[in-house]
């Protein structure tokens, strides 16, 4: 376990399957997380920022992702975490929630809601919260946007923030970033194939959008060689290196 100065040392955590992650997006997230003065900051991305990756027609290749619906809008977790792990009271609950993170599967959400319901820290209110978000997500994915908005209006980002802070027993913040690259993680062969097919189009457009939103990194922050695009797309879901 961390001791001494390490107890308050923050760390950035992100997954390794983010082919469109941009340094400007990550830098902006870290700056906002530092300014929030919390022990755990989680990044979110609004749905509008990911619409550019959706197929615009039946014959176009693209990626459609799941969102959670709130009164404040539709969002997706963007795989960026900035935390002081030693200051999080219930790290075990992060692992549990991550294991059940696939919102498309009803059983996963049911098990999570049941565990929260049985935990006196969670209780009925939190179980209902997750249930409403899940039902709104089902409606959204099936094209029933009005129903999704109706169900999602009972939940706000602030309710989510306060609920997660209570569950994890820590100071917690949600950081919204509009760039979107870090929210596009590659979990399936279909998503990997889509990225390979559209990589040459998506990379330069997304890099320009990220720089327009966050500004270019100053020279002292850039690793020698710059942030040039990799010569080839990622090797597969969660992988790196040259594709086979």
Q: What pLDDT, in 10s, does the model give residues 160-174? A: 899 889 888 999 999
At 234, is the pLDDT very low, low, confident or very high (cuts 50, 70, 90)?
Answer: low
Residue 106 pLDDT: 57
pLDDT for res 164: 87
Res 131: pLDDT: 78
Task: Check residue 204 and give its pLDDT.
Answer: 94
Measured between alpha carbons, how far is 60 from 62 in angstroms, rounded to an integer? 6
Answer yes or no: is pLDDT of 82 > 60: yes
For 200-212, what is each residue's pLDDT tens digit?
999 999 999 999 9
**Residue from 178, 173, 201 nearest 47 by CA:** 178
Mean pLDDT confidence for 28-52: 95
Instruction: Select from 178, 227, 173 the least CA-distant residue to 203.
Output: 227
Computed over every residue of the chain, the mean pLDDT equals 82
pLDDT at 59 over 50: yes
Domains of the chain: 10-188+197-202+210-216 (3.90.550)
**Mean pLDDT to the nearest integer, 122-139:** 78
pLDDT of 224: 47
The answer to whether residue 192 scores a pLDDT higher than 60 is yes
pTM of the predicted model over 0.85: no
DSSP string, 129-163: HHHHHHHHHHHHHTT-HHHHHHHHTT--HHHHHHH
The predicted structure's pLDDT at residue 222? 45
Q: Is the dihedral of CA 173, 178, 80, 96 positive or negative?
A: positive
pLDDT at 156 over 80: yes
d(CA 73, CA 71): 6
Greater model confidence, 107 or 81:
81
């Amino acid at each position: 376990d961390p001791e001494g100065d390490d107890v308050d040392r923050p760390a950035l955590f992100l997954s390794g399957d983010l082919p469109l992650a941009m340094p400007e997006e990550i830098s902006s997230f870290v700056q906002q997380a530092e300014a929030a003065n919390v022990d755990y900051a989680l990044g979110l991305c609004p749905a509008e920022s990911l619409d550019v990756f959706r197929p615009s027609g039946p014959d176009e290749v693209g990626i459609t992702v799941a969102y959670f619906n709130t009164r404040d809008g539709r969002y997706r977790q963007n795989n960026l975490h900035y935390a002081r792990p030693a200051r999080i009271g219930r790290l075990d609950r992060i692992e549990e929630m991550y294991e059940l993170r696939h919102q498309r599967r009803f059983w996963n959400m049911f098990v999570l809601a049941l565990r929260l319901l049985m935990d006196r820290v969670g209780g009925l209110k939190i179980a209902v919260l997750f249930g409403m978000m899940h039902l709104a997500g089902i409606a959204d994915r099936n094209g029933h946007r009005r129903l999704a908005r109706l169900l999602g209006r009972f939940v706000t980002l602030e309710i989510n923030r306060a609920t997660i802070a209570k569950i994890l027993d820590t100071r917690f913040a949600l950081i919204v970033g509009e760039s979107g690259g870090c929210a596009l993680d590659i979990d399936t062969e279909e998503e990997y194939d889509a990225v390979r097919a559209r990589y040459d189009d998506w990379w330069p457009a997304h890099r320009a959008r990220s720089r327009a939103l966050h500004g270019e990194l100053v020279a002292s922050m850039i690793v020698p060689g710059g942030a040039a695009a990799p010569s080839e797309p990622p090797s597969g879901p969660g992988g790196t290196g040259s594709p086979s």
